[in-house]
Amino acid sequence: MIRLADIKKIYRTTEVETSALNGVSLTIQQGEFVSIMGPSGCGKSTLLNILGLIDSPSEGEYYFGDLEVAKYSESKRADIRKGNIGFIFQSFNLIDELNVFENVELALIYTDMKSKNRKERVMAVLEKMNMTHRMKHYPQQLSGGQQQRVAIARAIVNRPKLILADEPTGNLDTKNGEDVMQLLTQLNEEGTTIIMVTHSPHDAEYGQRIINVLDGKIVSENKLKAFQNASPS
Amino acid sequence: MWKNYLKVAFYSFKKGKLFSLFNLLGLTLGITCSLLIFLWVQDESAVDTFHQDSEQLHYVYTTQTIDGEVSGGLYTPALLPAEIKKKIPEIALATGIAWSTETTFSVENQTHKLRGNHTGEDFFKIFSYPLLAGDASTVLKKPESIVISRHMAELFFGSPQQALGKTIRYEDRKDLQVTGVFENLPAHSSLQFDCLLTWQAFMDDNWWTQDWGNKGPSTVVKLKKGADPEAVAAKIKDFLLAYDDDQSETFRTELGLFPFAKMYLYSNFENGHPYNGRIDYIRIFSIVALFILVIAGINFMNLTTAASLRRGKEVGLRKVMGAYRASLIKQFLAEAFLMCSLAVLLALGLVQLCLPSFNILTEKQIAIPWAAPYFMLSLFTFLLLMGLFSGSYPAFFLSSLKPVSILKGTLKFGRNALLIRRGLVVFQFTLSLLLIIGTFVVSQQVRFIQSEHLGYNRENLLYIPIEGDLGEKYPLFKEQALAVPGVEQVAKLGQSVTSIDNGTGGVNWDGKDPNSKVQFTHLSVGYDFLETLQLELVAGRTFREDYATDTAAYLVNEAALAIIPYEDPVGKRLAFWGREGKIIGVLKDFHFNSFHHQIEPLVVRLGEAEEGWDGMMAVRIKTEETQKALATLETIATKLNPAFPFTYQFAEEAHQRLYRSESIISKLSRLFAGLAIFIACLGLLGLSIFSIQQRTKEIGVRKVLGASVARIIQLMSSDFVRLTLLAYLLAVPLSWYVMNDWLSDFVYRINLLDHWYIFMYTGVAMFFITLLTIIVQTYKAATLNPATVLKDE
């Protein structure tokens, strides 16, 4: 589903040049659950952003399915993003001014889906996340765990093939963290590809393999479970 | 400590260079603008206030009621000053003042046209015009005296001292002796003249002044110390009853008193009493200045607050390092004061730079009163208030934040603060729209005045005064002038048709109520006046040389026929000042006064052969030969009338002069409206930067979810477009009301309904200006890499 070949990401200011990714090559199959680990500043979030098409690499090739997207413009990347990729962030990134329903609906608004269909889709996802009773609430009225459930609802409402999670349990207590990981596992079992960045070895073990990043490079890879391609791509 | 504050202030200014510059620019422009208006208002209010015992000086004005119609003015009988001083014990001094006219004076070979006026003996005792030579109580005693200005003395004699006792020839018919020299008049004097002649001379030259029924000159009195002006006014109310035989039930003239120093600002009369005038403009512009200052202050506060958001981290760190809240408040206030001081300094420089052009625009001689303690004091007070006003919000807000939340980066303003900020934007945009619409309406009215057909053709029409020998030699002049290529018509005129103000109640017709004193304007003309002015006849004919009886023939305008109820007026009886005659023609109504006034009923009589003519002639010339024709006319006039320099005035010029204040107001409002909108845009820019800063995360999230650049721009702009729309909806009815009120001062005016497009265009322009202002910022936000934004989280 995803193939990265010798990806580099260099940040330049007038005085300094920082290399965030330094020749990353990686292949991810459809339906895989991959954990990415590494210390702070190692480049894992940059990698996730490039994988999620919200940032573009400075060099290298990036195949998303059959498309070579490394040189795509922002608007083309946005087109691919909105139908295929869902995002989950450590700090949830819900919009304070919108209620739960509207936050989830936001992901569908940019796909030009009809209002009636949108409503049905959002309600179904909220039900799945067990958040229907809170749909009129605003983010600041919810607990961290609930906020992350809303964020996951928003990420999956589009039925994306790929979910990118950037430390999804980082701001949660153990109990809520566990719930979130169960949800992700469930989504993966239903066929969604998941790539997750985490600091937590415990969470990482939910994946089928763990990729370790250091100084912008993949330094090792641990295969935890055998991966069976559940659905044909 | 203070050094550190300054250092940090300077550093933060440098860091957000563009932002700081915007902020400084807005405030500087706001202060400059308000300062200019303040100086103008100061200058206007200072007119005529420099006279000693100013509160004891009063104009005597008249309130006339004719057949139920009330009017008022400063015209009084020429006999009034002397009589009122004699009869009313509370009046210490009194003088008549005629009018300043361009008059020809000569000494030996030198001849100059200067502004001469006539006034009474008490003049220099009433007013504080310092005399450089001569004695205030005697300078105007002898009828052949003349008191001249320093300028005139230097012009003719080299110095004021050398002028005393010398002889000056007046209008080539009288020798006058210089009995005094006064210092050149200050610009703050509403009375302007180069020399003064005696009241006796005025009465001798104008036979009609002997009659109490004729009014023209103004009268100024000085009350005795302690005299109550209201009591004196009540006492003189019916003063004229004993002198003017014409006074009756239907024709009443009452006298009133109005402070001399205030008359400049209240020169309009309503219901027969002084009411408003330039004071209206002072009020309007004072409000404008205040508004501009408030807008600039609000923006400054908004922008400073927005900029301070970026400094949350600094504040958090300072707090962690142990800074007290008070020291942080001091820091932010110090920065605000520094910025305000800089803005005030820059504004002072800018005002100094602008003053020469501003003075040309306003026809004034304004200077910054550096030495005046009140000026420095008010500037300092302003600085203090502005610094507190604009620095307090960021200071108290930022210093109140908990260091943890700032360092975690969750800095956010509450809903109330946002609501206030939006309210302020609506407020300043409403105001700017009001100014813009107002400016458009004023310009349209001025344009209407300039382009409206007056009923006569004022283009290529010259007025040449008939003075000296030219009166006697007029037929010869006319004959020679008509032979000049480029000269089309020549005709005598009693007054320039731009403003005819001769009024009389002495018109009679068949069936007139014998008690009625209804007023007519009258004009004396020579042959060919109709053709020269290019007036239109509705019925009958004009005066003709081959009709000997035309010396007792009259033309009337259409407005006159509204009073004289002849069905078919041509050939009907009309008597003017007792002289029986016939109406021979009816003139189509034409404007012979400003558009503020209705076209009055007019009687035109033939004065071709009148003696002692002191009017002028109208000359119609061809456009392409103006210069040549003027040169030849000068040669002819100088040959026939060598004692008088050749002068002329274009009718167009005279017409424009009628609307001098409207023209200045139009220019001023254009200037201030432009500045107001610019400052408001800076405010909008500040708010949009602020709002984008607050919503960066939202933009990032939306982009990650697939929002296109266009959608983000739309999202970010719609808020501001809504705010400007609201401002527009408020401004339209408000400006409609205000401008309709302004227009109601004109009898002939534009109809706002016909100019609906002003409102539409302003709205459209505002919409685009709003978009243009915020588009760069929103575009920047919309194209931001979401990865950068979300990484900050």
Tens digit of pLDDT for each residue in A49-80? 899 888 889 999 999 989 999 998 877 888 88
Contact between chains at B709 and A89 (C-beta distance less than 8 A): no
End-to-end alpha-carbon separation of chain B, Å?
A: 34
Compute the nearest-CA separation of B331 from chain A (Å): 31
Residue B409: pLDDT band with limits 50, 70, 90: low
Longest alpha-carbon distance in chain A: 53
The pLDDT assigned to B361 comes to 86
For residue A90, what is the nearest residue in chain B, using CA coordinates? B793
A78 contacts on B by Cβ (under 8 Å): 703, 706-708
Mean pLDDT comparison of B7-21, B299-313, B693-707, highest-scoring range: B693-707
Across the interface, of B698, B700, B708, the residue whose CB is closest to A75 is B708
Looking at beta carbons, which residues of chain A come within 8 Å of B715?
none
Mean pLDDT (chain A) is 88
For Cα atoms B711, B714, B718, give the angle at the middle one, nearest 5 degrees.
150
- Give every CB contact of residue B465 below 8 A, 6+ residues apart in sequence: B102, B615, B616, B647
What's the predicted TM-score (pTM) here? 0.77
DSSP B75-125: ---TTHHHHHHHH-TTEEEEEEE---EEEEEEETTEEEEEEEEEE-TTHHH
Write out pLDDT tens, residues B282-305.
888 888 888 788 878 878 877 777
Mean pLDDT lowest among B363-377, B387-401, B568-582 = B387-401
Contact B578/B504 with Cβ under 8 angstroms? no
- The shortest CB-CB distance from A87 to any of B704, B708, B711 is to B704
> Residue B613 has what pLDDT?
65
Tokens in use for A143? Answer: 């607990």
Q: Are B421 and B302 in contact (CB under 8 A)?
A: yes
* Among B697, B711, B787, beta carbon nearest to A49: B787
pLDDT value of residue B105: 94
Across B70-96, average pLDDT: 95
Write down the pLDDT at residue B556. Answer: 95
- The more confidently predicted of residues A130 and B583 is B583
- The candidate with the shortest Cα–Cα distance to B251, out of B128, B501, B71, B383, is B71
pLDDT digits (tens, 9 = 90+) for B490-518: 999 988 888 888 878 889 999 888 877 78
Q: What is the mean pLDDT of residues A178-195?
A: 92
pLDDT at position A233: 40
Q: Which tokens belong to B360?
A: 């040309």
pLDDT at B411: 55
State the distance between the two ends of chain A, measured CA to CA, in whole angstroms.
7
Beta-ladder partners of B522: B603
Residue among B658, B662, B665, B659 at smallest CA distance from B37: B665
Find the mean pLDDT for residues A171-185.
Answer: 89
DSSP letter for each residue of B447-510: HHHHHS--SS--TTEEEEE--GGGTTTHHHHHHHHHTSTTEEEEEEESS-TT----EES-EEET
Residue B793 has a pLDDT of: 45
pLDDT tens per residue across span A15-34: 788 888 999 999 999 999 99
Q: How far apart are CA B267 and CA B593, in angstroms?
A: 17
Per CB-CB distance under 8 Å, the chain A contacts of B704 are 52, 54, 81, 87, 93
List residues in chain A touching B: CB distance below 8 A: 45-46, 49, 52, 54-55, 74-75, 78-79, 81-83, 87, 89-91, 93-95, 97, 106-107, 110-111, 154
Is the predicted pLDDT of residue A47 greater than 70, yes or no? yes
Give the Cα separation of A92 and A94 in Å (integer).
6
**B612 pLDDT more than 70:** no
Angstrom distance (rounded) from CA B777 to CA B689:
6
pLDDT band at B564 (very low <50, low <70, confident <90, very high): very high
C-alpha closest to that of A182 among A147, A211, A157, A145? A145
Task: Note the pLDDT tens digit of each residue in B87-115.
Answer: 999 999 999 999 998 899 999 889 999 99
Q: Which two tokens stand for residue A193?
A: 């590809």
Adjacency order of strands within the sheet including A59-64: A17-28, A2-12, A59-64, A67-68
Q: Please tell me if residue B715 touches chain A, with a CB cutoff of 8 Å.
A: no
Strand, helix or coil at A71?
coil
Residue B74 CA, chain-centre distance (Å), reads 20
Beta carbons within 8 Å of A87's beta carbon, 6+ residues apart: A52, A54, A93, A155, A163, A164, A165, A166, B704, B705
Q: What separation in angstroms does the CA of B142 have from each of B98, B133, B135, B197, B762?
A: 18, 16, 13, 10, 64
Q: CA A51, CA A86: separation in Å to the nearest integer?
A: 11
| Token duo for residue A115 | 């209002």
- Please give the residue of chain A at the shortest CA–CA distance from B790: A93
Residue B275 confidence (pLDDT) above 60 = yes
Instruction: Compute the average pLDDT of residues B166-171.
Output: 94
- Collapsing DSSP states into helix, strand and coil, what is residue B61? strand
Q: In chain B, which residue's Cα lies nearest the Cα of A80?
A: B706
Give me A166's structure tokens: 């950037």
Q: Of the candidates B706, B709, B790, which has its C-beta nearest A111's C-beta?
A: B706
- The two tokens of residue B473 are 């030699």
- CA B530, B535, B536, B539 dihedral sign is negative
Does B694 have pLDDT greater than 80?
no
- Cβ contacts of residue A28 below 8 Å, gap of 6+? A1, A2, A3, A34, A193, A195
The structure tokens listed for B244 are: 């003017």
AA identity, residue B392: S
Taking residue A217's Cβ as centre, other Cβ atoms within 10 Å add up to: 16
For range B471-500, the mean pLDDT: 91
Examine the pLDDT at B583 and tell me if it is beyond 60.
Answer: yes
Instruction: pLDDT band for B699, please (50, 70, 90 cuts).
Output: confident
CB contact under 8 A, B708 and A93: no
Say yes or no to pLDDT of B788 above 90: no
Phi, psi (5° rounding) for residue B36?
A: -60, -45
| Cα distances (angstroms) measured from residue B627 to each of B483, B487, B488, B632 | 16, 11, 14, 9
Q: How far is it, in rounded angstroms, from Cα B77 to Cα B245?
A: 13
pLDDT (tens digit per residue) in A108-165 = 888 878 999 999 999 999 998 889 999 999 988 899 889 988 999 999 898 899 999 9
Question: What is the average per-residue pLDDT within B437-441?
Answer: 87
Average pLDDT over residues B70-85: 94
- ipTM of this complex prediction, to 2 decimal places: 0.82
* B294: its two tokens: 């408030």
Higher pLDDT, B501 or B405: B501
Binning pLDDT at 50, 70 and 90, where does residue A81 land? confident
pLDDT of residue B173: 86
Give the Cα-Cα-Cα angle B428, B431, B434 (nearest 5 degrees): 155
Q: Is B709 on the interface with A (CB under 8 A)?
A: yes
Phi first, then psi: give them for residue B621, nearest 5 degrees: -120, 165
Give yes or no for residue A232 having a pLDDT over 50: no
Q: Among all chains, which residue has been given the structure tokens 């005030």?
A: B344
A181: nearest Cα among A209, A224, A149, A147? A149
Bridge partners of residue B62, in order along the sequence: B73, B255
In contact, B26 and B303? CB cutoff 8 Å:
yes
Please check whether residue A25 is in contact with residue A47, taking contact to mean a CB–CB distance below 8 angstroms.
no
Find the DSSP H helices in B616-659: 626-640, 651-658
B704 to A81: CB separation less than 8 angstroms, yes or no? yes
Structure tokens at A133: 């009773």
Q: Which residues pair with B147 in a beta bridge?
A: B180, B196
Residue type, B71: S
Q: Give just the sign of the alpha carbon dihedral B454, B460, B461, B463.
A: positive
pLDDT of residue B405: 61
Do residues B124 and B136 make contact, with C-beta atoms less than 8 angstroms apart? yes
The SS3 call for residue B547 is coil
Phi-psi region of B306 (alpha: psi -120 to 50; beta: other; left: phi over 0): alpha
- In angstroms, rounded to a whole number, what is the distance separating the alpha carbons of residues B541 and B437? 47
HEC assignment per residue over B689-735: HHHHHHCHHHHHHHHHCCCCHHHHHHHHHHHHHHHHHHHHHHHHHHH
Residues B477 and B70: their CA atoms lie apart, in Å, by 44
Cβ neighbours of residue B662 closer than 8 Å, sequence gap 6 or more: B442, B445, B446, B449
**Stretch among A224-233, B363-372, B488-497, B553-562 having the lowest mean pLDDT:** A224-233
pLDDT band at A223 (very low <50, low <70, confident <90, very high): confident
